[in-house]
Amino acid sequence: MDSPQSLSFELFPPRTPEGAARLPAVVAELAAAAPDYFSITHGACGSIQDGTYETLETVVEHSGVEAVPHLTCVGSTRANIAALLHRYRQAGVKRIVALRGDLPASATTPSAPGEFHYASELVSFIRDTHGNNFQIEVAAYPEMHPQAPNPTADFDNFRRKVEAGADGAITQLFYNADAYIDFVDRCVKAGIHIPIVPGIMPITGYANTLRFCNGCGADLPRWIRLRLEELQHDKEALLDFGLDVVTRLCENLMRNSAPGLHFYTINQASPTLRLCGNLGLRTSVEALA
Ligand X SMILES: Cc1cc2nc3c(=O)[nH]c(=O)nc-3n(C[C@H](O)[C@H](O)[C@H](O)COP(=O)(O)OP(=O)(O)OC[C@H]3O[C@@H](n4cnc5c(N)ncnc54)[C@H](O)[C@@H]3O)c2cc1C
Cα(186)–Cα(175) distance, rounded to whole angstroms? 19
Query: CA-CA distance, 165 to 133, in Å (whole number)?
Result: 12
CA atoms within 13 A on the CB side of 179: 22
Size of the site for ligand X (CB under 6 A): 25
Part of the chain binding ligand X (CB under 6 A), chosen from 59-67, 152-160, 202-210, 268-276:
152-160
- Calpha distance 43→27 (Å, rounded): 20
Q: How far is the CB of 200 from ligand X (least distance, A)?
A: 11
**Choosing from 10, 121, 137, 143, which is the catalytic residue?**
10
DSSP-assigned letters across all residues of 44-112:
GGG-TTSSHHHHHHHHHHHH--EEEEEEE-TT--HHHHHHHHHHHHHTT--EEEEE--PPPTT--SSSP
CB of 161 to ligand X, least distance (A): 6
- Is residue 6 close enough to count as binding ligand X by CB under 6 A? no
46 vs 242, which CB is nearer to ligand X?
Answer: 46
From CA 33, how far away is CA 282, in angstroms rounded?
A: 5
Stretch that binds ligand X, among 23-31, 80-88, 93-101, 276-284 (CB under 6 A): 93-101
Between 98 and 287, name the residue whose CB sits nearer to ligand X.
98
Least Å distance, CB 70 to ligand X, is: 3
Check if the beta carbon of residue 114 is closer than 8 Å to that of residue 76.
Answer: yes
Using rule CB under 6 A, residue 101 touches ligand X: yes
- For residue 164, state whether it binds ligand X (rule: CB under 6 A): no
CA–CA gap between residue 71 and residue 81 (Å, rounded): 8
66 is catalytic: no
Q: Please, which of residues 113-142 interact with ligand X by CB under 6 A?
A: 118-120, 139
SS3 content of the chain, % helix, strand, coil (to 5): 50, 15, 35
Counting contacts by CB under 6 A, is residue 157 touching ligand X? yes
**3 state DSSP class of 266:** coil
Cα separation, 146 vs 144, in Å, equals 6
Q: Closest Cα to residue 45, out of 88, 77, 3, 90?
A: 77
Q: Using the minimum distance from each CB to ligand X, give the nearer residue, 139 or 273.
A: 139
Regarding 148 and contact with ligand X (CB under 6 A), the answer is yes
Kindly state whether residue 47 participates in binding ligand X, applying the rule CB under 6 A: no
- Please say which residue, 127 or 160, places its beta carbon nearer to ligand X: 160
* 9 interacts with ligand X by CB under 6 A: no
Q: Find the binder of ligand X among 36, 66, 102, 251 (CB under 6 A).
A: 102
Q: Is 193 exposed, middle or buried (0-12, 13-18, 19+ CB in 10 A)?
A: exposed
Which of 7, 32, 44, 281: binder of ligand X (CB under 6 A)? 44
Active site amino acids: 10
Give the residues lining the site for ligand X (CB under 6 A): 41-42, 44, 70, 72, 97, 99-102, 110, 118-120, 139, 145, 147-148, 154, 157, 160-161, 170, 172, 199
